[in-house]
Structures are given as structure tokens and as C-alpha cells.
A = this chain, B = another copy of it.
Amino acid sequence: MSLSTLGIVKRSIDRADAGAVAALSRFGVATVHEAMGRIGLMDPNIRPIYKGAHLCGTVVTVLMQPGDNWMLHVAAEQIRPGDVVVAACTAESTDGFFGDLLATSFRARGAVGLVIDGGARDVEDLEEMGFPVFSRAIHAKGTVKATLGSVNVPVVCAGAIVHPGDVVIGDADGVVVVPAALAAATAEAAAKREANETAKRARLAAGELGLDMYQMREPLAKAGLRYID
């Protein structure tokens, strides 16, 4: 028995329900994160490589070695239409693991984006292609193809646990991961939250204070807030 999860490609994964993914794609990252009870976010160093990049899809995970993008090539074969590749690394690395050639290959397989806890390059080409990438860095540094990692094992990517088949959503506010089993319920909760927010927005725009709308004055006074002149 191997102790390690390295050197493995899992071919059959259970992807989140397509309807739930479609439903989730209508919401922003902040809304989905709130709908889940304020969990599931990657850390804020993961940023879109170009303005306006958005993605929502089912996850193919990759575990890479620092400075080595071999497993991204292995992952390409596992991509199904609508997938997003989520690439973690066994150690912090800002090298340019991903560029326009891999994006061409990923897109030909049906991928709708990449989230990578590492660096990307050819970012002008990627923007022109409209292939959304969320990464820790932008760096031209090339990588080798020498050491095994894995595909479709659970990974920690930028502080978030990600399982193959989960839903990942990225926009200007960051990246959130929704476990496959919770996708439908999260979409429903997000819809409720958004409806709720629309009503609140109108009241706030009309000049009502959050202090009154959320009934904060009493708890603030209880906590000891003092007004002075």
C-alpha cells in the first residue's frame, strides 16, 4: 500500500449536477460564499489575470510539484466539457506553469477555465482567447516535466479543500469552492440571499440606515457604545 497520494490519476469522478452548476453560475463569489455560511473561499492572493475574467464549472484537480507542469498535461485528458482545472502545488511556487498552448489544449477538451496556486504566463494571449485564469502570480518563468504529482485527488488549493467534481466559481472578488453534494442547496440559498439583498438595497438607497434596518441600535447600546459631542 502506498502512503502517498502522489502518482495517481483518477479517471472516474462524480461531477456536481449540471443544473446546480448552471444555477450557481448566476451568482457572484461573495454571494455563494455567504450562502454556504461564510466558508469555501480561497485566499485573496488568487486573482484573475485579466479584468472581467469569470468562471464557473466542475472541478478536475491537479497536484503539481514546484516548477513542474507535467501533471497539467496529464490532466488535459481528464477534462470534460464544462470543467475547470484547479491546480495545487506541493510547495509554494510562482513559476509560469500555464500559458497559451495549454489553454488551447484545455479549451479543445471543453475546459472553461483554470485556478492555479502558482504562476501563469502568456497573459495577453489568454485574455485575447478569453480563457479565464485565476492565479497567485504572473511570471514568464518556464517549468519542467520531470516529477509525478496527481490528478483528481483531493487537494488544498490556496487554503481551500477541493475535491474532484466540486463546483468552483471565480470572479473579481476571488474564488469559492462548493462541494458537489451541496451545489443545489447552495444555489437555492444564494437565490434567497440575492432576493433579500435587492429589497435591502432599495431601502438603503432611499436613505434608511443599516442601524435601523438591521435593528442594531439596541445591541450596540447593550455592548456599551457611547455617543459624545
A residues contacting B by CB (< 8 A) are: 1-12, 28-30, 33-39, 41, 43-44, 47, 51, 65-68, 70, 73-74, 76-77, 90-96, 99-102, 104-105, 107-109, 119, 121-124, 137-142, 144-148, 154, 156, 159-161, 171-174, 176, 182, 185-186, 189, 197, 200-201, 204-207, 209-211, 214, 216, 220, 223-229
Instruction: Please give, as numbers and ranges, the residues of chain B lying within 8 Å of A35 by CB-CB distance.
Output: 3
**Residue numbers in B under 8 Å from A109 (CB-CB):** 207
A-B contact list, 18 entries, CB within 8 Å: A9-B226, A10-B228, A29-B140, A41-B140, A44-B119, A47-B138, A66-B66, A70-B220, A73-B211, A96-B173, A100-B201, A104-B204, A105-B209, A108-B206, A122-B173, A124-B173, A138-B172, A138-B173
Stoichiometry, as copies per complex, reads: 6
Interface-central residue, A74, A138, A139, A216, by most chain B CB under 10 Å? A139
The answer to whether A34 touches B142, judged by C-beta atoms less than 8 angstroms apart, is yes
Given contacts A33-B140, A140-B174, 5 further A-B pairs with CB under 8 A are A3-B182, A4-B38, A101-B197, A107-B205, A123-B172
CB pair A36 B4 closer than 8 Å: yes
Contact B121 A173, beta carbon cutoff 8 Å: yes
Closest chain B residue, CB of each to CB of A63: B39
Chain B residues near A91 (CB, 8 Å)?
A: 67, 93-95, 139, 141
Pair A38/B141 contact, Cβ less than 8 Å: yes
B74 touches A220 (CB 8 A): yes
How far apart are A92's CB and chain B's nearest CB, in angstroms? 6
Please determine whether B210 and A105 come into contact, CB atoms closer than 8 angstroms: yes
Residues of B contacting A174 in the complex (Cβ-Cβ under 8 angstroms): 121, 138-140
Q: Do B101 and A200 touch (CB < 8 A)? A: yes
A200 to chain B, nearest CB (A): 6
* Contact (A6, B161) CB under 8 Å given A44-B138, A173-B139, A201-B104: no
Q: Are B226 and A185 in contact (CB under 8 A)?
A: no
CB A72 to nearest CB in B, in angstroms, measures 8
Chain B CB within 10 A, most for which of A30, A216, A224, A228: A30
